[in-house]
Amino acid sequence: MEPPYRPQPVSFSRRGGRLGERQQKAWDQLADEYVLDVPRNGPSTSVDPDYRIDPEQLFGRTAPVILEIGSGYGESLAHAAAEHPDTDFLAFEVYIPAVAQTLLHIRRDGLTNIRLAVANAPEMLSTALAPASLSELRIWFPDPWHKTRHNKRRLITPAFAELAARVLPTGGTWRVATDWADYADQIDSVLTGSTDFEGSRYERFEGRPVTRFETKGLKVDREIHDFAARRI
């Protein structure tokens, strides 16, 4: 039987890339404990719709859970986990060398409150996470897909807002940051047009450190746009 294909384009372009020696060692030592073994439903980042994440079982405790989508090399994620040891952090990232680099942060800082998944975020939000199971959702600098013909691949759309609303309880927070002006306008439109969220453009979130990626944007005079919305 042929594996199923996704009906919608994904918001990422899967890059290759070999692991460096330190990354490979970290992966070999830590992936079994910190990277979820997600069953697939076709492509390598797909998610079997029967798969479920139980945060209490995953982390071995009852605690607030924050999800970061597109965690990259883990700078913001590791910073947040170190600052908030009483909170558990999930992260979805499709670039395996970036996940391996995050494992290096975990080992360096002795972090135990992070788990990662190499998986397509909308699929995870649709089925793998229980309704209202997160306290906060964070998306820092999603791919802007800045060419007009590629705009359809942007992650943050009205349909995605419905998925975000599904996994956040009343009062839960959705935070976003982008350095791309017209994507900021789109995000603003999605948030203000949603009946599930209240809020939109916001001052810079103090819990987000300035990463290498953000620094590159600032060097070419891109304005950073922050958003925060509350689930209603």
b/e sequence 104-140, b meaning 16+ C-beta within 10 Å: bbbeeeebebbbbbbbbbbbbbebbbeeebbbbbbbb
Taking alpha carbons only, the member of 95, 141, 135, 137 closest to residue 117 is 95
Q: What is the dihedral of CA 205, 209, 213, 215, to 10 degrees?
A: 90
Q: b/e string for 179-213 if b means 16 or more Cβ within 10 A?
A: bbeebbebbeebbeebebbebbeeeebeebeebee
Q: What are phi and psi of 137, to 5 degrees?
A: -125, 130
Distances (CA, A) of 193 to 141, 157, 158, 200, 204: 21, 10, 8, 10, 22
- Taking CA atoms, 77 is separated from 102, 110, 194, 209, 220, in Å, by 8, 13, 27, 9, 25
Q: Please give the positions annotated as active site.
A: 143
